[in-house]
Amino acid sequence: MSREHRAAEEQLCPYDAVQAAEALCGPVVLEPVTDRRGSAVWRAVGPNGAVAVKAGEGDGALVTAREGEVADRLGLLGTHGVSDGVAWLVTPWFDGPSTREVFAPVRAGDSDRAAVRAAAVDLCRAVADLHARGWVHADLQPEHAIHTKDGVRLIDLSWAWRPGFEPSEMFRGGIPHLLAPELAAAVVAGVRPAAPSPAAEVYTLAGVLWTCITGRWPLDYERAGLLPRELGAAGVREAIATGGIPLDADRPWPELQQLLEGALLAPAGERPTAAELAGQISDV
Ligand SMILES: Nc1ncnc2c1ncn2[C@@H]1O[C@H](COP(=O)(O)OP(=O)(O)OP(=O)(O)O)[C@@H](O)[C@H]1O
Ligand SMILES: [Mg+2]
């Protein structure tokens, strides 16, 4: 990495993280990707490859430090540390579109859906594989799966959970709009740490696919007389926990959405597993 570049990035990206990236990639150039809520991500590219570098400060430091521990436990290539109160993490960079990007043609009304359906199956299988290893991602989102040529890779592992490695007290179930009702109820009731489960994750998985199809959250708050913007995250969790919010009426892909509806409306004990959902979708 050139001296100029390092000077330009030094305040944001911890020096130790750059060193760790360079140990894997050779001299790197840092490309800023995101910077929000105390957490910043760069793509570090060098002659020997690319890695993702993430740094978290303030509350984000605890969250990023936990992600580093998860990456270790899952055996991801890379390293992590804390420098001057900033937690950082270096993991492989995954090339490919996110699930939301894969579904863009569907949202644009394109009728050729075979490849998109295959990608939906790939996502379900990646989640099923994680569950088979005893883990729950616990923060699935349309942007948290990357569809690479070697399969789907799940990212943003801060809240990933397995028995004996519980999420921190800060865990609130992940993105509220995709929260399973039983997990929302636990969070609302003040259970800490709120425990995600494979079944709750299948609800979220179905919600992710639904959102990728329609571009809208699965539940139609307005039809229940609620305005999510006024509710805030806590209010959305409470509304989901209470129930009675209908699914959004938009059905651009009725055959697939019917399956997702099954997963979204079933009580936790009757939801398909991620592997079963994969099977159902590949049979559509
Ligand atoms: N290993 C990776 N490979 C490819 N892209 C990545 C990788 N890690 C992060 N990204 C990109 O950076 C974005 C932000 O990463 P991530 O979700 O981990 O950060 P975050 O700060 O927790 O974001 P948020 O809090 O908004 O979810 C991702 O949506 C993705 O576009
Ligand atoms: Mg994220």
Q: What is the pLDDT of residue 193?
A: 85
Above pLDDT 90, what percent of the chain?
A: 88
- Tens digits of per-residue pLDDT, 227-260? 988 999 999 999 999 999 999 999 999 999 999 9
Which ligand is located closest to the Cα atom of residue 21?
1
Q: Which of 10-24, 138-152, 209-223 has the lowest mean pLDDT?
A: 10-24
Q: Could you give the C-alpha distances from 260 to 139, 253, 255, 277, in angstroms and in order?
A: 18, 11, 9, 8
The percent helix, strand, coil of the chain (3-state, each to 5) is 45, 20, 35
Ligand 1, atom 29: nearest CA belongs to which residue? 143
Ligand 1, atom 18: nearest CA belongs to which residue? 156
Name the pLDDT band for 1 (thresholds 50, 70, 90): very low
Angle at 266 between CA 259 and CA 235, to 5 degrees: 110
Which ligand is located closest to the Cα atom of residue 95?
1
C-alpha span between 116 and 105 (Å, rounded): 9
Q: For ligand 1, what atom is nearest to the CA of residue 95?
A: 4
Q: What is the pLDDT of residue 191?
A: 94
Nearest to 67 by CA among 96, 92, 90, 36: 90
CA of residue 108 to ligand 2 center, whole Å: 24
CATH 3.30.1490.70 fits 3-92, yes or no: no
Give the CATH architecture of domain 99-282: Orthogonal Bundle (1.10)
Mean pLDDT of 21-40: 94
**CB distance 69 to 44 below 8 Å:** no
Q: What is the pLDDT of residue 7?
A: 41
CA of residue 137 to ligand 1 center, whole Å: 14
Same fold, 3-92 and 99-282: no
Pocket of ligand 1 (CB under 6 A): 33-34, 36-37, 39, 41, 52, 54, 91, 93-94, 143, 146, 155-156
Helical segments of the chain, H only: 3-9, 15-25, 59-73, 99-102, 104-107, 114-132, 181-188, 198-214, 228-242, 254-265, 274-282
Which ligand is located closest to the Cα atom of residue 87?
1
CA of residue 157 to ligand 2 center, whole Å: 9
Q: For ligand 1, what atom is nearest to the CA of residue 143?
A: 29
Tokens of 9: 């990035």
What size, in residues, is the chain? 284
Which ligand is located closest to the Cα atom of residue 158?
1
pLDDT at 2 over 50: no
Ligand 1, atom 13: nearest CA belongs to which residue? 34
In a 10 Å sphere around its CB, with 0-12 CB exposed, 13-18 middle and 19+ buried, how is residue 192 labelled? middle
AA identity, residue 179:
L
Ligand 1, atom 16: nearest CA belongs to which residue? 156
Q: What is the pLDDT of residue 111?
A: 82
Kindly list the domain boundaries of the chain, sorted by start residue. Answer: 3-92, 99-282
Q: Could you give the C-alpha distances from 274 to 93, 112, 203, 280, in angstroms and in order?
A: 25, 24, 9, 10
Ligand 1 test: best mutation among 13, 33, 77, 80, most atoms within 8 Å of CB? Answer: 33
**CB distance 269 to 199 below 8 Å:** yes
Q: What is the pLDDT of residue 261?
A: 98
